[in-house]
Amino acid sequence: MWQSLLNHITAGNFKALARAISLVENEVEGYEQFLSELPNAQTTIIGITGPPGAGKSTLVDALIGHWVKAGKRIAVLCVDPSSPFNLGALLGDRIRMTEWYTHPHVFIRSLATRGSLGGLHPHIIEITALLQAAAFDFIIVETVGVGQSEIEIVGLADTTVVVVVPEAGDEVQTMKSGLMEIADLFVVNKSDRPDSDLFVRNLRSMLSQGSHAQLETAVLKTVASTKEGVDALADAIELHLQHVTNSEKKIWLLTERVYQLIQQKKMKGIEKEAIRKSIASQILLPGFNLFNFAIKYNDAS
């Protein structure tokens, strides 16, 4: 089964790709061996993140249109909030991308965060590796946009685009340096709104004061709903990607992914409910110590 799936994926079969993603999501027996046999592919990953309401999905839709027009094959992972009832994706993003549902060069998949605080899916690294095996030209990962925890995207994406709107002036002023530093590109979307030019100037000023990067962080204006500025954004993304190939950042990205995979493996089998039950049975014992409990629990598992 797995070898047949791999053959179909590398041949560009979307149905096989969708099935493989589901099998990996559900950790079906044999999935780890399957992943270890994936070809070494380096399709670039573009992260689109930012606060809710910034227009990330509309911007992604516009980028798809730009690259499809140029003859590119695009994969998009839309990481949606989880349903509180079944932990599935709420599918809000795909509503804005209906034009591409059946396009032969576009693959779109909604993923649930499944409780992850980083705005991503627990198996996002494995799923993007599957997409890389399918020989797309670009892989776009749109995060759920949950605030400061968006920083997780920097360990996955070759280029990280942070989307904000002109009304975010106070928000940007109080941004933690971490979120400011993860942006390879800043996009001020809905820039047809009042005071957008002032906001862009202030943002550029803030970036220039704290920047130590070799490549300047560009700030671009877009109106995604009318496709204004999207061509320039696509060009800026491609320019940045040229600097990432075999760079120190690329090595750091791969290091970060391996670290997360090892961490995930180490934590496998450790469940909060089991910890809760164990604490409930011991908390009233004399001399209960949280740190001692954690050490013993880790050793036992």
Residues 203 and 55 in one domain: yes
Provide the number of structural domains found in the chain: 3
Residue 74: both structure tokens together:
């695009």
pLDDT at position 86 is: 40
Count of CB atoms within 10 A of residue 290's CB?
9
pLDDT tens digit string along 4-41?
Answer: 999 999 999 999 999 999 999 888 999 989 999 998 88
Confidence (pTM)? 0.82
Q: Looking only at Cα atoms, what is the longest distance across the chain?
A: 70
Q: Is 258 found in the same domain as 231?
A: yes
In this structure, are 144 and 279 located in the same domain? Answer: no
Q: Are residues 191 and 255 in the same domain?
A: yes
pLDDT per position as a tens digit, 85-143:
344 444 445 556 778 878 999 999 988 755 444 446 678 889 999 999 998 999 999 98
In terms of residue numbers, what domain contains 32?
A: 1-38
**Edge-to-edge strand ranges of the sheet holding 218-221:** 106-112, 74-80, 138-142, 44-49, 159-164, 185-188, 218-221
DSSP 145-197: --SGGGGGGGGT-SEEEEEE-GGGHHHHHT--HHHHHH-SEEEE-STTSTTHH
27 and 150 part of one domain: no
Residues 31 and 54 in one domain: no
106, 99 Cβ separation under 8 angstroms: no
* 166-222 confidence digits (pLDDT tens): 886 555 655 555 556 778 999 999 999 988 999 898 888 888 775 555 567 899 999
**What does pLDDT average to over the chain?**
82
Considering the domain architecture, whether residues 77 and 204 belong to the same structural domain is answered as: yes
255 and 143 both lie in a single domain: yes
**Do both 29 and 45 map to the same domain?**
no
User: Does residue 44 sit in the same domain as residue 169?
Assistant: yes
